[in-house]
């Protein structure tokens, strides 16, 4: 599961890439319960120059943290909640990569 961003990006070294890949960094979610009906879900997302770079173990050129809230105990939708938060607040012009083996 990841996202291909279809925007031109200039890296810190001045290199320009036409698209990049975003995926969960280390594949981990942090889920915390506050009170009887409030859950905080947090995940770090790595920005990679390509999906192949991520799959090969290269380090991301940027990392952002996305946080989602839920009034229900998260289950398999916990990943969907943080990806939705990432899409709404960090990126535009993207294509979803629904390969669940990449989580």
Percent share of the chain, pLDDT over 90: 54
Structure tokens, 13: 């070294």
Could you tell me which residue, 76 or 74, shows the higher pLDDT? 74
What is the pLDDT confidence band of residue 101, given thresholds at 50, 70 and 90? Answer: very low
Q: State pLDDT tens for residues 7-20.
A: 999 999 999 999 99
Q: How far apart are CA 77 and CA 31, in angstroms?
A: 12
Do residues 26 and 44 touch, judged by C-beta distance below 8 A?
yes
What is the pLDDT confidence band of residue 102, given thresholds at 50, 70 and 90? Answer: very low
Tell me, rounded to whole angstroms, the distance of Cα 55 from its chain centroid.
14
Q: What is the pTM of this model?
A: 0.83
Give me the mean pLDDT over the 72-78 stretch: 73
What is the pLDDT confidence band of residue 99, given thresholds at 50, 70 and 90? Answer: low
Identify the burial level of 52 via C-beta atoms within 10 angstroms of its C-beta, where 0-12 means exposed, 13-18 middle and 19 or more buried: exposed
């Amino acid at each position: 599961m990841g996202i291909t961003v279809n925007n031109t990006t200039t890296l810190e070294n001045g290199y320009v890439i036409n698209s990049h890949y975003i995926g969960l960094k280390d594949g981990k979610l942090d889920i915390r319960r506050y009170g009887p009906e409030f859950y905080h879900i947090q995940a770090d997302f790595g920005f990679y120059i390509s999906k192949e770079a991520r799959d090969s173990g290269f380090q991301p050129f940027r990392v952002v943290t996305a946080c989602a809230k839920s009034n229900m105990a998260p289950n398999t939708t916990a990943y969907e909640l943080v990806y939705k938060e990432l899409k709404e607040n960090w990126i535009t012009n993207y294509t979803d990569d629904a390969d669940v083996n990449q989580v």
